[in-house]
């Protein structure tokens, strides 16, 4: 007896396994969609494989980065000098060579940023462009916040001096 919902075919028991191009091997990588504590997880079978999205990545919800203290070692406050290094970065506007729509983007040139903040730049291998440098823009946020707090303290000090001189 066959399952009528499959018109006599065997049901697809591997629909949760997908193939994506993997950057470490230059071959397709198997991904598994599974569940963990009621959350869907899409993970490469080889956990050392990078994920490369060639076009825009659109997320209907939030993008969350794990940040729990139980995951971290060597926790230290960022020095203001580290945040100040970003002042030497020169933001650019540009288009991507392969973007036929010539959309304007804003950011940094990885090679330039690497000279002043090497921890924010990584070299990755992509299936389309080979080895390229990438910028971790999310990790710029804490540096910017530290600098904003420093500038706010300077503004507050100047206001206090101005009010005192009146």
Per the structure, the count of domains in the chain is 2
Is residue 43 a contact partner of residue 34, using CB atoms and an 8 Å limit? Answer: yes
**Residue 166 within a domain:** yes
Please tell me whether residues 140 and 92 are part of one structural domain: yes
pLDDT in tens, 60-119: 888 888 899 999 999 999 999 999 999 999 999 999 998 889 999 999 999 999 999 999
**Residue 8 within a domain:** yes
Please tell me whether residues 95 and 154 are part of one structural domain: yes
Is residue 132 a contact partner of residue 121, using CB atoms and an 8 Å limit? Answer: no
Please tell me whether residues 5 and 80 are part of one structural domain: no
Is residue 31 a contact partner of residue 46, using CB atoms and an 8 Å limit? Answer: no
Please tell me whether residues 80 and 12 are part of one structural domain: no
Residue 4 banded pLDDT, cuts 50, 70, 90: very low
Range of the domain at 15: 1-51
Residue 6 is predicted with a pLDDT of 45
**Residue 68 within a domain:** no
Residue 127 is predicted with a pLDDT of 77
Higher-confidence residue of 121 and 7: namely 121
Please tell me whether residues 159 and 87 are part of one structural domain: yes
Q: How far apart are CA 120 and CA 61, in angstroms?
A: 25
pLDDT in tens, 109-153: 999 999 999 999 999 888 788 899 999 999 999 999 999 999 999
**Residue 21 within a domain:** yes
Please tell me whether residues 159 and 106 are part of one structural domain: yes
Q: How many CB atoms lie within 10 A of CB 109?
A: 16
Question: Looking at residue 157, which CATH number applies to its domain?
Answer: 1.10.10.10
Please tell me whether residues 87 and 161 are part of one structural domain: yes
**Residue 63 within a domain:** no
**3-state SS record for the chain:** CCCHHHCCCCCCCCCCEEEEECCCCCCEEEEEEEEECCEEEEEECCCCCCCCCCCCCCCCCCCCCCCCHHHCCCCCCCCHHHHHHHHHCCCEEECCCCCCCCCCEEECCHHHHHHHCHHHEEEEEECCCEEEEEECHHHHHHHHHHHHHHHHHHHHHHHHHHHHCC
């Amino acid at each position: 007896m066959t399952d009528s919902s499959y018109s006599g075919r065997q049901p697809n028991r591997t629909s949760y396994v997908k193939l994506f191009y993997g950057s470490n091997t230059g071959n397709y990588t198997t991904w598994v969609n599974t569940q963990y504590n009621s959350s869907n997880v899409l993970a490469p079978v080889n956990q050392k494989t990078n994920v490369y999205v060639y076009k825009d990545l659109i997320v209907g919800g939030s993008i969350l980065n794990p940040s729990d203290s139980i995951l971290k070692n060597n926790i230290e406050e960022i020095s203001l000098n580290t945040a100040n290094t970003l002042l030497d970065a020169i933001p650019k506007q540009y288009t991507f060579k392969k973007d036929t729509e010539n959309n304007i983007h804003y950011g940094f040139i990885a090679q330039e940023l690497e000279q002043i903040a090497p921890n924010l730049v990584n070299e990755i291998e992509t299936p389309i462009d080979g080895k390229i440098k990438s910028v971790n823009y999310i990790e710029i946020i804490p540096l910017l916040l530290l600098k904003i707090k420093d500038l706010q303290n300077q503004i507050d000090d100047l206001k206090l001096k101005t009010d005192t001189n009146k």
